[in-house]
Chain A
Amino acid sequence: MSRAEATVQTGQTGQTGQTDPGAAVDAAGKDGGQAGAPRAVRLAWTLGLFRSELSVTFRRWRTLALLAVLAAVPVLVGIAVKIETSDGGSIGGGGPDGGGGPAFIAQVTNNGLFLVFTALAATLPFFLPMAIGVVAGDSIAGEASAGTLRYLLVAPAGRTRLLLAKYVTALTFCLVATLVVAASALAVGALLFPLGEVTTISGTRIGFGDGLLRALLIALVVAASLIGVAALGLFVSTLTSSGIAAMATTVGLLITVQIVDQIPQLHAVHPYLFSHYWLSFADLMRDPVYWDDLVKNLGLQALYAGVFGSAAWARFGAKDIAS
């Protein structure tokens, strides 16, 4: 066990700029010295690699800027709603179609908790997946363009494990980004609007605590909705050795898919687009909850993770690493 802890610590030391290749080689030396190393050591190494990846990702200015932009969206929405309704009018104009604007926006003035749902509905189509695209697209290609990828691979940690660590990091970012939006929205909503009993979109009422629980559940579902984009970004990232190209391709694919999803003539392919069931998180606000689309969404995300995750593995495992 002491050996395992030691390796974890070594794994953690590399925290400057890109993942420190020195740490990897160091750890590899210790690990490789023992032929039939216990599984615990390998697991610890993986965890160390993951932790190092995580801290590298979240210490980047780029990541912090993305999170700041995401946190600003609910603030903007909240202030806009507050200003528009300050004269006693209602938001959205009240047409039969709700007058436009993101989902739930009509309810925000009555209950600040709805700002969480509105903010998630506003960021989910573009801001959140774009941020994921940047992080996931950069994961492998960024190392390659910085010239650090081959050093990482000198270690017998293996490409599969590196890929896994990168993917788990991207998924963690999905969760953190979603929670940042939700937390910021909750804070702004509590400041600007009253809180209290929540009316579900089915017209029934639930307590505030129950409402908070549903908000958390919705945040988790939104984070899970991004699994597909993260897998796609990871795959694109293994195709090129230019970080910028991978990010741009991922975001471009995202926009393309969103446009295709809007064309009624292409309805046959719609159920297979990763963004098609994204808004299904709103079904959690029905009473009773309507699970059909939620399950479809999660299944679809798992499918994308499976297909593009294994495609990334296939590509990355057999790739010639030149940089």
Chain B
Amino acid sequence: MAPYEPEQDTNEADELSAGRRKAARYVVPLAVAGVAAATIGLVPALATSGDPDLPDITAQELIEKIAASDTEQLSGTVKISTDLGLPSFGSGMTGGFAPGAGGAGGAGEDGDAGGKGSADPSAKLMELATGTHTLRVAADGPDKQKLSVLDDAAEYSLIHNGDDVWAYDSASNEAYHSKDAGKHGKQHDREGAKDLGEEVPSTPKEFAEQALKAADKSSTSVKVDGSAQVAGRDAYRLVLKPKESGSTVGQITIAVDAKTGTPLKFTLSPAGGGSAVVDAGFTKVDFGKPAASTFDFKPPKGTKVTEEGDATGHRGKDGGDFKGMEPGDGLNGLNVIGDGWTSIAELKTPGGRGLPTSGSGSDSGDVPPEAEKFLNSLGDQVKGDFGSGTVFKTRLINALVTDDGKVYVGAVTKDALVKAANAAH
């Protein structure tokens, strides 16, 4: 009955050398570490293996299923990873870049993530454009939605409940409020709660809707590619591929819940290979009705509340400093060349002046030479019938800024940009 206690039998150590006995003891910690490592390595592998067995379905039926999906109540956790190949400059710079990046998706241009001191939703959601984030979504009908961005020991919540849209940032204990009043309000309300999702789509459903909108039937191959398990649910995998060459989009995979038709996971892979540019999917999902208290927000005492109007004024002031640097603010004359996947947006910079690259000479006095060098190092110099310009590349969106002040942006390759610029010339 007595537990084995090796330290007592020092006298019986005749048969086994002391050294070997000592060494044998260290097998225990090594075994513990080994078992743990094996568990960590094996469990995810086991969990992902074994795709569910689902009845066959055509792509058309699946798309109809998505369209017919009337999931109004759900709550869940979404993991979203974005890797545009942009350096992570933090929130201030992301704002400057993201609108340009979102341009091809027809996204909005509130390029002022630097708008300090307010819990302004558009600023915060721009941060989602880089890195990996965990989000929580909850919805109960068209009037109640909540989207939370989980930060370290803090959370940013966007709550739409009936007439009110609240944004609450627990890190700075600040809130942003916009009230639904009349028609304009309604419109803005939607802009605040829903279209924000379009600016920076954050749930798999929004991603999927956008992709389907973009999926012009003639230029896209749509097919169902087996099944997968997402957030513990059986799902079909819908694959969209551009037919034409020239696009930087390799393929888009949407996992659609087999029962409810709700998109559960969205993956955008670049044509150049490598890891996904955008990968957003539920890690947990529940189609039950979320608790009513989830949508019930009242700013706690002492919270600094920014009303909608205040924020706009504030924003305008801040944005002014960056004029000329922000495509969203300073560009005009949007013109879309081509359609489908390879559509390219053509814009003109104010004053018809391009970015101050080395090609444009040194007459651009407002940019110091160091900044010029920095800008040049970011892009590739190209020449063509249109003159010369600079191509700025990310893993998905490329932009050509010509020296005569035109900007071509699209989810297309560098060659396609140059071709479009030549054609436009």
**Residues on A facing B (Cβ under 8 Å):** 36, 39, 90, 92, 94-99, 103-104, 106-107, 109-111, 121, 153, 156, 158-160, 194, 199, 201-205, 279, 282, 286-287, 290, 292, 303, 306-308, 310-311, 313-315, 317-318
Q: Please, how many angstroms separate the alpha-carbon atoms of A199 and B299 in the complex?
A: 8
In chain A, what residue has the closest Cβ to B26? A314
**Contact call B124/A290, Cβ cutoff below 8 A:** no
Instruction: Give the residue of A36, A158, A279, A303 whose beta carbon is less than 8 angstroms from that of B152.
Output: A279
CB B303 to nearest CB in A, in angstroms, measures: 7
CB B21 to nearest CB in A, in angstroms, measures: 7
Instruction: Give the residue of B1, B5, B296, B304 whose beta carbon is less than 8 angstroms from that of A90.
Output: B304
Q: Given contacts A95-B117, A107-B170, are A307 and B29 in contact (CB under 8 A)? A: yes
Q: Given contacts A98-B154, A279-B152, A286-B150, are A160 and B5 in contact (CB under 8 A)? A: yes
CB A302 to nearest CB in B, in angstroms, measures: 9
In chain B, what residue has the closest Cβ to A98? B171
Q: Which residues of A contact B312 (CB under 8 A)?
A: none
**Contact call A307/B172, Cβ cutoff below 8 A:** no
Q: Is B148 positioned at the interface, with any CB of A under 8 Å from its CB?
A: yes
**Contact call B123/A96, Cβ cutoff below 8 A:** yes
**Contact call B1/A39, Cβ cutoff below 8 A:** yes
CB B130 to nearest CB in A, in angstroms, measures: 13
Q: Which residues of A contact B123 (CB under 8 A)?
A: 96
CB A176 to nearest CB in B, in angstroms, measures: 24
**Contact call B155/A286, Cβ cutoff below 8 A:** yes
Q: Is B91 positioned at the interface, with any CB of A under 8 Å from its CB?
A: yes
Within 8 A of A (CB), among B26-49: 26, 28-29, 32-33, 36
Q: Is B7 positioned at the interface, with any CB of A under 8 Å from its CB?
A: yes
The 5 closest A-B pairs by CB, nearest first: A98-B171, A103-B153, A282-B153, A314-B25, A106-B173
Give the contact-size bracket for chain B: 35 or more
Q: Given contacts A110-B302, A306-B36, are A203 and B25 in contact (CB under 8 A)? A: no
Q: Which residues of B contact A199 (CB under 8 A)?
A: 300
In chain B, what residue has the closest Cβ to A196? B301
In chain B, what residue has the closest Cβ to A316? B7
CB B1 to nearest CB in A, in angstroms, measures: 7
**Contact call A282/B116, Cβ cutoff below 8 A:** no
In chain B, what residue has the closest Cβ to A158? B5
CB B30 to nearest CB in A, in angstroms, measures: 9
Q: Is B174 positioned at the interface, with any CB of A under 8 Å from its CB?
A: yes
**Contact call A310/B28, Cβ cutoff below 8 A:** yes
**Contact call A205/B172, Cβ cutoff below 8 A:** no
Instruction: Give the residue of A103, A110, A290, A310 whose beta carbon is less than 8 angstroms from that of B301.
Output: A110
Instruction: Give the residue of A90, A97, A104, A203 whose beta carbon is less than 8 angstroms from that of B168.
Output: A203
**Contact call A203/B159, Cβ cutoff below 8 A:** yes
In chain A, what residue has the closest Cβ to B28? A310
In chain A, what residue has the closest Cβ to B35? A306
**Contact call B171/A106, Cβ cutoff below 8 A:** yes
Instruction: Give the residue of A98, A160, A203, A204 whose beta carbon is less than 8 angstroms from that of B172.
Output: A98
Instruction: Give the residue of B7, B29, B300, B301 whose beta carbon is less than 8 angstroms from that of A160.
Output: B7
Q: Given contacts A98-B154, A98-B171, A110-B173, are A307 and B36 in contact (CB under 8 A)? A: yes
Q: Please, how many angstroms separate the alpha-carbon atoms of A279 and B18 in the complex?
A: 44
**Contact call A96/B300, Cβ cutoff below 8 A:** no
Q: Which residues of A contact B116 (CB under 8 A)?
A: 95-96
